[in-house]
A and B are shown apart, each in its own frame.
Chain A
């Protein structure tokens, strides 16, 4: 709904918000032209163009290896956090568990706890039980902690708008609980599940502080290697890395956004 103030009266508001949006969106993309620079300087605009920094990226074990580590960890986190998170939010939704509220807030709490604390906590546990530091599995478990709140929140929102009686109908027609869930409930929650998967993948792919604490050497994630390089010696290979990370983290959400919007319009 439009308010009573005219566009002309809001002229300065438009200008101001335009500038803020520019500040929010534009800077990130500066890594794209810089990654095609022909020189080692990080100047913008680049004096000439080349793809040498991409060649440098694909030619170096430290980048390729850590990219693989990141992708495997993110995939594992996506599976683990989504499966356990969906199960938990379903259980919390359908039954009034005695400690339901406590369980829910515990599962969401990693969102509020500063990540440095989660990181040293995980480091401590792994240092004690042994065999978990510097492993893919250790990182998958650790990243699942920080991905969990996103799955729980997304799934709870999805379950809220889902009519549970449908599952009851399926069960009264003879399906057991598991079958009713898999064939009736889950397909209708597919957008929430997809969002949960995407979020947990991205949270893991982006995660840095936990990886800093519990991994090193050949099991370093891409973000960890990027961080170390940023701190020590900065060169345009980083711009190539950043551009690739930009593609990995930006395209899927955009696609999901468009797909869900279209699905909503179709439904309406």
Chain B
């Protein structure tokens, strides 16, 4: 019995009609399987689609509606004509740039050490990097408020060391905003960097040394280029996330530092018109998409080359 069943499945012993029937049955089965599987993804798609994709499409359309209800670029023109908006854009980019550069300087050595140290030490470093990653951004922002305040730890230390004569303003300004944002962003740079460094064969560095290059030279010519994909991915991720930052600038900037996200929130809270806020939102989204797209392209090209 069993034998026959198996035989009937072998194509050579089937008549063309049976073959066709078999083929169709298989196709039908495949289609019903695809349907079942699609149904399984449906709840997740509904949640994300209804609450994120659809309203973003709506924002896009709203951004072209002016105050008088007519279609046009009125909201976008606003950004170029009004100094408030110009200043906010410049502010946002300066902060994002400075934070990214500081994160690079702080993060690269940590990722490097994490990649070359033996297991227990590397694990310890990883835990230390992930630790702030887990903790709430609000808690960390509050900590910085305590540390950076006028009679806080940092000011006390600086006065005690004789660097400054009396406490300086470290918080509720640009300095505080940047210190707090770097603290939140460094892990986002370290993790992708570490992933690409972990894949580098350290024998390559030995080979370079054997061939007569100094450690610094070998690092620059061998290690740095090989870590480039992670470096680009991490850098752009940090930069993009900085562009859309809300909590830290709102609290550590003391209302003086205005970035895009705060301006969006503010214009929605203060004015009933959605147009300018929608246009700002669309700009933020486009900048994010462009940055991520460029980084993806660069990383692909670099990994394809090596």
Contact = CB atoms under 8 A, between A and B. Distances in A.
A106 interface: yes
Nearest to B285: A117
Given A3-B116, A4-B206, A30 B55 contact: no
Chain A interface extent, by class: 35 or more
Contact of A230 (B141, B205, B268, B277): B141
A31 B142 CA distance: 8
B138 A230 contact: yes
Interface in B22-52: 33-34, 36-38, 40-41, 43-45, 47-52
Interface string A59-88: 000000000000000000000100111011
A120 B139 contact: no
Interface residues of B, number: 82
B80 interface: no
A226 B44 contact: no
B158 interface: no
8 interchain residue pairs of minimum CB distance: A114-B244, A121-B55, A91-B40, A88-B44, A91-B37, A95-B37, A84-B43, A116-B261
A115 B246 contact: yes
Given A120-B268, A145-B51, A113 B143 contact: no
B288 to A, nearest CB: 6
Contact of B285 (A16, A30, A114, A142): A114
- Most B CB contacts (10 A, CB to CB) among A24, A115, A152 go to A24
Given A95-B37, A103-B41, A114-B284, A209 B48 contact: no
B129 interface: yes
B66 interface: no
B141 A30 contact: no
Contacts of A142: 51
Nearest to B114: A17
B90 interface: no
26 contacts: A1-B116, A4-B209, A20-B106, A23-B183, A24-B132, A24-B183, A24-B186, A30-B143, A30-B146, A87-B40, A97-B37, A107-B44, A109-B52, A112-B288, A114-B285, A117-B244, A120-B59, A120-B268, A125-B55, A208-B137, A227-B247, A230-B145, A242-B139, A245-B136, A249-B136, A249-B139
A253 B142 CA distance: 22
Contacts of B192: none
Contact of B251 (A92, A209, A231): A231
Given A223-B138, A242-B142, 5 more contacts: A20-B106, A44-B152, A242-B136, A245-B136, A250-B131
A113 B146 contact: no
A28 B41 contact: no
A239 interface: yes
Contact of B52 (A13, A20, A95, A113): A113
B151 interface: yes
B125 to A, nearest CB: 7
Q: Is the interface of B mostly helix, strand, loop or mixed?
A: helix
Nearest to B106: A20
A88 B40 contact: yes
A159 interface: no
Contact of A3 (B48, B109, B206): B206
B216 to A, nearest CB: 10
A133 interface: no
Contacts of B129: 21, 24
A268 interface: no
A97 B42 CA distance: 12
A212 B247 CA distance: 11
A234 B152 CA distance: 14
A114 B43 contact: no
A213 B246 CA distance: 13
B58 interface: yes
A28 B125 CA distance: 17
Contacts of A21: 110, 125, 128-129
A40 to B, nearest CB: 13
Interface in B136-177: 136-147, 149, 151-153
Contacts of A118: 51-52
A116 B246 CA distance: 8
B55 A124 contact: yes
Contacts of B243: 114
A249 to B, nearest CB: 6
Nearest to A10: B113
